Structure 1
């Protein structure tokens, strides 16, 4: 139940004022429904923990949790194209004529209507929470596209939700390059064992990815001396959380270390109890880390309008 990746957004104190009530009411009107026979996908909310009858939100440590889910029909293009090829071939053999482009398009649409109800359905979920105290939206994904899809669902449920991407005052790429080149890390941070270096001069410049690597090694610093910059950097915060920070301030490979995990204990009675304990601990730890990122990069919270 710990998040594995983070895409971060911020919102103003005014937005936070009635967010708990608005979201609870809005989500109730936007639950996930099953894909209809001729639908390719559906999206909506599901309970963050428990079965379908469980509460649709969880309010823990001044953080409101909600989960967006989707159902997608799995109908590979190769399957549809093969069915179309066989149908066109059948017409050619039985009627002795070629199938034109307009007819081929109609046949394809008919086949799609025929095949969709029999396609497998895949469900996906994307958890997220909003910290109403500090104005963070935290989405468990490293994909900007997936994060935008989740934000769209929240906005539909709320009517409006002006959460915005981070706008750092200090350039993450410049700072992280300095940290790696000179060891000038902010207090509380230590280097991990992973980085991605790129030549920023061209879009197709050389890329170096290092994993399980001593980042203080001379071979890494040589790449920096040759002009490469840090686009992603493995970090450890306060000896408690390890992660890879991207130049867009997305967080990947988030892992809470043993000193944190040992606080959970082993006496969880059910899934709801475990989720409450896990999310309380996670939000408390991330709140400290995000406060530090605000200080380091300058990440202003949007002002009330």
Structure 2
């Protein structure tokens, strides 16, 4: 269990979770498969369910609560619906000699979707996240705001309250630009990838890869007023990632040094391995986020 993208949120007040109550509340909003006329359903599942294992509705290690949201969607290709619609419209127009109006076409399309929906294939997707009580953090493995907000909304619905704000409430362009132009914080090493954007109305964007960030080319862009939107970095020889100006951390890759720490757990012991990976991964993620919170001065006084 290794998160690849992070959307992080800070709890605005301490949160208390009782294990028995949490299990009951998540079960009340447990995942159920799509019915014959459902386009999509969403609910909580065991964090181990994706590996084919059953278990409790959450998994906890050192007060870090791992919660999994499962979504099932019906796949009904528009091309299939439109092809049937064209056939029905052609048949009606041939039989009546009159054109089928816009409203009638909409009704026919709805009729086709209703008829085909029970036969549609389904697609399952999972969103993993964890609540770290000691750190007042909620961390979601998501690359988009929409996916993260859906996770937060469901958790909030289940437990009644989840008072959070985004990890950062202002753009980090200035801070990331300072990393490139002046000095990086301790334990941060910049890699050869970044995205720069003009601060003026032109909004021009420069993306570079395999390019030393202290090169003359990059310096010229920065001197011309461009600001760093994204930058690749390595943290404390434990992981590499892309730091974004909105506070998101993307394309996380844990180093071999970190992953090797779980190699002594046999692969056939799935639950034990997932437990070990989550314990290690969540500890590294919270360490990174606490470091960024302190370094970028995103402390509780700014909430």
The TM-score with structure 1 as length reference comes to 0.92
Instruction: Please state how far the C-alpha of 1:291 moved relative to its aligned partner.
Output: 1.5
Give the equivalent residue in structure 2 for 1:261: 259
Gaps of 5+ in 1: none
Partner of 1:220: 218
2:7 equivalent to 1:7: yes
Query: Is the 2:47–2:67 Cα contact (8 Å) retained in structure 1?
Result: yes
Alpha-carbon distance in structure 2 between the residues aligned to 1:43 and 1:302:
36
CA distance in 1, matches of 2:233, 2:39: 40
Q: CA deviation at 1:97?
A: 1.5
Measured after TM superposition, the shift of residue 82 of structure 1 is 2.2
Q: From the superposition, tell whether residues 243 and 210 of structure 1 become closer, same or farther in structure 2 (CA, over 3 Å).
A: same
Answer yes or no: is 1:49 the counterpart of 2:54: no
Deviations 1:171-208 (CA, angstroms, capped at 9, x unpaired): 511011111122x1111111022111111212x52211
The 3-state SS of whatever aligns with 2:92 is helix
Q: Which residue of 2 aligns with 1:176?
A: 176
Paired with 1:266 and 1:111, the residues of 2 have a C-alpha distance of: 54
Cα deviation per residue 1:214-272 (whole Å; 9 max; x = unaligned)?
Answer: 22222122211122110111111112111101101101011111221222223325111
CA distance in 1, matches of 2:64, 2:75: 35
Verify the 8 A CA contact 1:43 1:70 in the aligned structure 2.
yes
Structure 1 position 139, deviation (Å):
0.3
CA distance in structure 2 between the partners assigned to 1:53 and 1:178 by the alignment: 48
Question: Cα distance, 1:287 vs. partner?
Answer: 2.2
Relative to 1, partners in 2 of residues 1:284 and 1:88: Cα closer, same or farther, differing over 3 Å? same
TM superposition shift of 1:20: 4.3
Contact 2:66 2:129 in 1 (8 A): yes
Alignment partner of 1:114: what SS? helix
In 1, Cα distance between the equivalents of 2:228 and 2:101? 54
CA distance in 2, matches of 1:168, 1:98: 55
Structure 1 contact 65–127 (Cα < 8 Å) conserved: yes
1:212 CA displacement: 2.7
Gaps of 5+ in 2: none
The more displaced of 121-130 and 205-214 is: 205-214
Q: Distance in 2 between matches of 1:200 and 1:82?
A: 48
**Partner of residue 207, structure 2:** 209
- Of the structure 1 ranges 67-76 and 46-55, higher mean CA displacement relative to structure 2 is found in 46-55
Residue 21 of structure 1: how far off its partner (Å): 4.6
After superposition, residues 124-203 of structure 1 pair within 5 angstroms as 124-168=125-169, 171-182=171-182, 184-202=183-201
**Who is 1:36 aligned against?**
35
Structure 1, 44-53 or 17-26: larger mean CA deviation? 17-26
Residue 287 (structure 2) aligns with: 288
How many residue pairs get aligned? The number is 300
